[in-house]
Amino acid sequence: MQKPKGTRDLGPESMEVRKKVEEVMRDRCEGWGFREVDTPTFEHLELFTLKSGEEIIDEIYAFRDKSERELALRPEVTASVMRFYSDELRARPKPLKLYYFSNCFRYEQPQKGRYREFWQFGTETIGGDCSKTSAETIALACEILDSFGLEYDLHIGYLGVARGVLESEGVVGEDQDRLMSLIDKGDVDAIIDFLDGLSVSSDCRGVLVELIDLVGEGRDTVSQALDVLESYGFGEEGGFGLDNLSETLSYLESYGDVDYTLDLGIARGLEYYTGTVFEIYVPGLGAQNQVCGGGEYSIPQLMGENQFSTGFAFGFDRVVEAIKHQEIDLDIGPRLMAYIIPVSDEFRDEAVQILGRMRGSFPADIDLTGRGIGDQISHADSIGVRFAVIIGEREVENGTLSLKDMESGDQVELGIDEAVNKIMEEYESL
């Protein structure tokens, strides 16, 4: 029987890499003061149609349960975390810093780098000053990728300016959301066609087209955007929030040398994003080269009025693929430190006792097939064990262990405590 379309089986070697990547991500988040949460794999369908509309139903796994409740497998995690916040976490001190690692589901055509079941690793910072939380969120995402030694491109945008221009022309609600979606796709012709069907000025069309085409490095690009606004007569103080973007970039620079491209054409494609947004790409991954995206957002139905959050989500599978593509060695180390080899079943009781002692300090295993000593050593070598621990008549009589280093081939006889300590030292040095 075959696995369902759009899913994968992940073998031991793949899982070792994924566990290592997950471990690093968790370690960095917890080091920055984030705490882990988890939410249900399925939610009420209404949670996902709340802001995305009924059309999202065609893109997700939606179903009715035996009690005719309309449910859906989560297509992303942010909405679930915000529902959790609304239900149980609202009274907690702000800012509330949370992270998650979850599988998600989308009903779409599988292709390279895109699956129907996939994993997201992300953070949400609820409350706090938006400029400061945005800077920290971006810096943390970069810190995680830097931890792996990945090469990547960071693009930062700001939705407030496009939304501000549209609101000044009376373009709100679904029309504004539709335009933001077109901006996210970079489809200038479609943007112009849609604007032509609305009652907006030619200045509105001109300024939007120029702004979404504005790409540059550093805060000088913010000044260029302000110049564009003023040239079309949109001279509102603060440039529809561009002063907030400039402040965010200033805070970001305080985290160290963070290279970024300012790209006002980034819109993220989701209606709840409001201010600074960002995307991270890894060269060489083809069409699916975006590994992370996030920004400032608000979901009033769940968070309450005037409550904002800032977060990001890594496409976990794409990060793993990027590490593989750039041939980065994660230094996973041996899976087993010791393989206990009784010379015969006569010494198995003693071998199991030694095994139990070792398993309290480091990964260890024992033969379960009744192989001869030579075959056991060959098996230990084939599965990447660091030390073979041989127990026979001499070792039992002397209270010793014969320790074979599977890397160098050297073999020594040591007291039990000495042998255990030697293996433990090697394990702790990894």
Q: List the domain boundaries for the chain.
A: 12-325, 338-428
Residue 269: the pLDDT is 58
**Cα 82 to the center of its chain, rounded Å:** 18
Is the bond into 4 cis (omega within 30 degrees of 0)? Answer: no
Where is 357: in which H helix or E strand? helix 348-359
Residue 209: the pLDDT is 86
Residue 10: the pLDDT is 95
Q: What is the pTM (predicted TM-score) of this model?
A: 0.89
Residue 306: the pLDDT is 74
Residue 418: the pLDDT is 96
| Radius of gyration of the chain from its Cα atoms, rounded to whole angstroms | 28
The second-level CATH assignment, the architecture, of 338-428 is 3-Layer(aba) Sandwich (3.40)
Residue 292 pairs in a beta bridge with: 280, 314
CATH node for 12-325? 3.30.930.10
Residue 3: the pLDDT is 92
- Distances, alpha carbon 103 to alpha carbons 115, 313, 319, 388, in Å: 11, 12, 15, 38
Tens place of pLDDT per residue across the chain (430 aa): 899 999 999 999 999 999 999 999 999 999 999 999 999 999 999 999 876 667 788 999 999 999 999 999 999 999 999 999 999 999 999 999 999 999 999 998 877 778 999 999 999 999 999 999 999 999 999 999 999 999 999 999 998 888 888 888 888 888 888 888 888 777 788 888 888 888 888 888 888 888 888 888 878 889 898 888 888 888 776 678 888 999 999 999 999 989 999 998 887 656 678 889 999 999 988 878 999 999 998 887 777 777 889 999 999 999 999 999 999 999 887 789 999 999 999 999 999 999 999 999 999 999 999 899 999 999 999 999 999 999 999 999 999 999 999 999 999 999 999 999 999 999 998 7
Residue 271: the pLDDT is 66
- For strand 96-105 and strand 153-158, is the pairing parallel, antiparallel, or unpaired? unpaired
Cα gap 144→320, rounded to integer Å: 13
